Each structure stands twice: as structure tokens, then as C-alpha cells.
Amino acid sequence: MTSSPEFAPQTRRQLLSRIGAVGGSAALYQAMTALGHAAGRDFAGPPRLDGARPGTSVLVLGAGLAGMLAAYELRKAGYSVRILEYQDRAGGRNFSLHGGDRFTELGGATQNIGFAPGNYFNPGPWRIPYHHQALLHYCRAFGVALEPFVQVNFNAYVHATGAFGGQKQRYRTIAADYAGHTSELLAKAIDQHRLDLPVGDDEREHLLQALKACGMLDGTFAYTKSVMTSQRRGFAKPQGGGPDGAPVPSDPLPRDALMRSGLWLALATNASLDHQTTMFQPVGGMDQIGKGFARQVGDLITMRCRVTAIHQDQHGVSVSYIDEAHGNAPRVAQADYCVCTIPLSVLSQLDVQVGGPMKAAIAAVPYLSSVKIGLEFNRRFWEEDEQIYGGISFTDLPINQISYPSTGYFSRGKAVLLGGYMYEDAEAFRFAGLSPAERIEAALAQGAVIHPQYRKEFSTGAAVAWSRVPWTLGCCALWSEQARKMHYRDLCAIDNRLVLAGEHASFFGCWQEGAILSSLDAVTRLHRRAIGAA
């Protein structure tokens, strides 16, 4: 450790004189969260696409949520629309695995899903935050029933192999003790009789880093206007789709005014055992959203069409594809315009006739690796034995987390939980290299550290490695800050008669909301181009 004054031993008075403002700053962030400033995203309602020219045709590539929504809004506006879809179902990454389903990944490994009737596993999206207002709007419009998804459960577990002898701890215990110890330290800033005890280098550094993480502080340990703090308190202009979708950070309220207001008292209520945050999920599986969208545009979709090339000129767009439903016959579809929602991981490998800037943008974005593992057990032991109803337990084991079902409480018989969720790390790639059976076995061995009942109660499982899914080759687009600066606007631009849409063309990547917002933005701009307004 350096001997410079910055790192010299300090008394508690000296330490807390430097970080004394942290308590107020943290309270400010928490109060803003409680006051609802994590507000709705960039959605003000369905697009107004007035004045479409009769007979204008649009070809949509991909029947995921972005593609189906584009087709829905364009047809409603008067366009002639057709969708080409690679799979034999609609929904894209929005899908669920039910008993009787069959899933094959790259390399040929096939899983015959053996879940009991009514049980399911969501390999892709599995929850919907309340502020995803665009997605929630269309769920309501398309008759998709939703129910609460329990994200935070104070009775779930947190676990680290190197902490507390490797013993799991209740979430509420850690939350209460962390807040209590931190409050005690801050309280000593005004306790003149107990400030002179020395603070060692190790304790000082851990305290500063803990307060920095908890309070979303910057490099100087200050709570200031930034993207980081706005991720909790909400943005002045929220994330959106398209070239102008960049968020704008918001200004924190003055600390003294907030403290005088007393509004921070609501935080204690929200942290109590009977008040927890709520998210949403479709009743019966996340695939109910894809099915709801498909009910609106199913007649427009041609399944099992493998696109091989996209060409265009000043008069229209020509898409070559293999019709796998009819003997792999080569075919060509033509239209005046095209909305392409094919994931960039696949699109980058196709013959796409676009300008250099868009071509470079398509090639610039890698895709996130992710693995999810669904485990079915003979009974709900987490409820019956441990009083855990929904929510998530976290661990530093490779499985990362265990998410308990937020439906069917107190029911008898078999139930499915999310037994592992690895993403954007070496473990996701390592698990992707295992067979499905090996992934499930690893999840059982690791999960048994948290729940010893695993082995006795296990029934069957399913495991999906997104890097081995042939129609997306990854979970979602993984933009770097540098790549966004160089390529994002080019990716979102209309290239002659082609526009891209999907979560990759939004600042809300890896969420269904990003796909929805991007689609709405893309069809709005394409419509303006088609009617000569842009």
C-alpha cells in the first residue's frame, strides 16, 4: 500500500469527514426511486402512420416481436405486408419450452422436453419491468394476460463460497446488517466521543468501495448527474429506439431539500417484509406474448424461409430465400421496402446489398453468450421447507442464480424453477460447450449447495445455450461504447429502401422493450420516407 497522504492511516473522524455526504446522497437516490422517478421509457402510444400510398408493399424479415409489430402497424396504416420467418413458429427469442416440445441446437443435440402438463421454462425473456410501457401496451391490446413476477424476495438466499464459511444467508439478513453497519459508521460522524479509533488501510478501502457501489458514486466518491446514477433514479430523456434513442441523464434533487421533506421515510416501508417490488410475466409462459402478436399477423407469415440475400435498387427490394417447407426450393420475394429484424449475428453472414457504413455497422456488434437451465422438481420444496415464494437467490457459483416460480403457489405436484442463468462471462461459454445433460448435472450439483433437496426431488430438466441456437447465434447484441459511437447511427439509418429493427437497434438492448421501441421507430421513419416526407 502506498504511503502517500491519500492512503495514510486515518481516524474514523478523518475518514467520515471525507465521506460524510454519502449518507445523504444515497438517501437521495433511494428517495428518488421510491418517488417513482424510474419513469416510463420512450413510448407515447402507437405510431401515427397517416397517408400511406395504396398498394405500397413492405417485406418484413423475421417474425419476432419487432417484425410482427412492424407488420401489424404497417398493415393497419394501409401497406401491403408479408413476413418471412426462418423457424416454424413465430415469436423469435420470445419462446417457452413446454412438456412435449423438442429443441435442437447447433451440433445436433436434441432435447425432448419432459415437463409435466402446465409446466414450462422460459429460455429467453422471463420478466417484464413495470416501466416497459410499450410492451405492456401491446400485451393489453392483444389480450395477453399478465401476472406478477416476484423479483425481490427478502426470504431468498445470498451465497458466496468464501463468505460465512460458505453458508447461505437470507437476503433480509444481509440487507438489514449492511444497512445497519453502514448507518452506524455514518452516525459516528456526529458522535464526537467515538471518532478517534484508527481505521486501518484495509477497512478504509473496503468501506470506500462498499459505499461507492451502494451509492452509485463516481471516481471521486461524489453522487452526481450521470448515466450511472440515472440507471437507478431515471433519465431526463429515457432510452429509446432508433438513431435518437440515446438517454439523457437527470439532475439529482438538492440534498438539503430532500432531507427536510421526510420523504425518505417511505424507504423503510418498502424494505419491510410485506412490501416488495413487482414485475410481470405472461400467464402460462413468456411465449404467450409471441402467440398474442401472431394472432394479429399470423396470416402474413410464411414459415421456414431461410433468407440468403437482400438486394435493392431505386425501385424496390429483392430477397432471396430457401423455402424449406417445400423441398428447399429457391425463391425470391419482392417489395417496395423492407424491414429487416434478422439478428446481426446472422445478418452479418448474408449477402446484404447496403452501403459501406451500414455493412460495417452490421459486422461491428458481437452477441452475448447466455445459458439458461430449467429444472423440474417433484414438489415445491422451496415453499414447503423454506418459505420462499417467488424471487431469486444469488450465488457466486457458476449457475449465478436460482429463480423460483411466481405462479402456482401452494400447488401440489411438480414445478419448474430457473436453476442457472449464466451470461457475458467465461462460464456461459464453458456451459455452452457442455451437452444439455452435462449442463443440467452441473446445475444440480451447484444448486444442491443452496438447496440440499435438489437430488432427492429432481424430475427432469432443459438447458439452452444461446450461442448454439442456429437462428440467433447468441442471446442479444453486445454493444460497446466505442462501437455505438462509431456505428450505431449508421445501423439505424434507412439505407435506400431497407431499415433494420430489433433490440440491436435500440439503447435498450437485450430487452423485449428494446425490440418494440426500435420497431416503432423504424416503421415511423420508413413511412415518412415512403410518403416523401423524409
φ, ψ for residue 220, nearest 5 deg: -100, 15
Residue 403 CB neighbour total at 10 angstroms: 25
359 and 440 in a single domain? The answer is: no
77 and 101 in a single domain? The answer is: no
Q: Which pLDDT value is given to residue 179?
A: 66
118 and 132 in a single domain? The answer is: yes
112 and 257 in a single domain? The answer is: no
Tell me whether residue 50 is in a domain.
no
Q: Among 468, 499, 514, which residue terminates a domain? A: 468
Are the C-beta atoms of 343 and 472 separated by less than 8 Å? yes
Tell me whether residue 377 is in a domain.
yes
Q: Among 251, 275, 299, which residue terminates a domain? A: 275
- The CA dihedral of 50, 488, 469, 420, to the nearest 10 degrees, is -110
Nearest partner of 114 among 389, 436, 434, judged by Cα:
436
Q: Which pLDDT value is given to residue 175?
A: 77
Q: Which pLDDT value is given to residue 22?
A: 36
Q: Give the cell for residue 110.
A: 436434441
346 and 423 in a single domain? The answer is: no
10-residue averages of pLDDT along the chain (534 residues): 37 43 34 32 86 96 98 98 98 97 96 98 95 95 97 88 86 76 55 52 72 77 82 84 91 71 54 63 98 98 98 97 98 98 98 98 96 98 97 93 97 97 90 97 98 98 97 95 96 98 95 96 97 80
19 and 149 in a single domain? The answer is: no
The Cα–Cα gap between 249 and 253 comes to: 13
Tell me whether residue 219 is in a domain.
yes
CATH number at residue 209: 1.20.1440.240
Q: Give the cell for residue 412.
A: 401440489
350 and 387 in a single domain? The answer is: no
Tell me whether residue 166 is in a domain.
no
CATH number at residue 85: 3.50.50.60
Instruction: Domain count for the chain, please give it.
Output: 3
Tell me whether residue 474 is in a domain.
no
28 and 87 in a single domain? The answer is: no
193 and 246 in a single domain? The answer is: yes
Are the C-beta atoms of 492 and 242 separated by less than 8 Å? yes
What is the dihedral sign for C-alpha 154, 158, 163, 168? positive
Structural domain span for residue 69: 57-92+288-363+479-530
CATH number at residue 451: 3.90.660.10
Tell me whether residue 46 is in a domain.
no
The pTM assigned to this predicted structure is 0.84
φ, ψ for residue 23, nearest 5 deg: -55, -45
Residue in the block written with cell 418517488: 35
Tell me whether residue 131 is in a domain.
yes
Contacts of 198 (CB under 8 A, 6+ apart): 9, 10, 11, 12
329 and 351 in a single domain? The answer is: yes
Nearest partner of 415 among 457, 374, 377, judged by Cα:
377
Nearest partner of 375 among 404, 407, 408, judged by Cα:
404
Are the C-beta atoms of 365 and 381 separated by less than 8 Å? no
Q: Among 222, 253, 275, which residue terminates a domain? A: 275
- The DSSP code for 7 is G
318 and 373 in a single domain? The answer is: no
492 and 448 in a single domain? The answer is: no
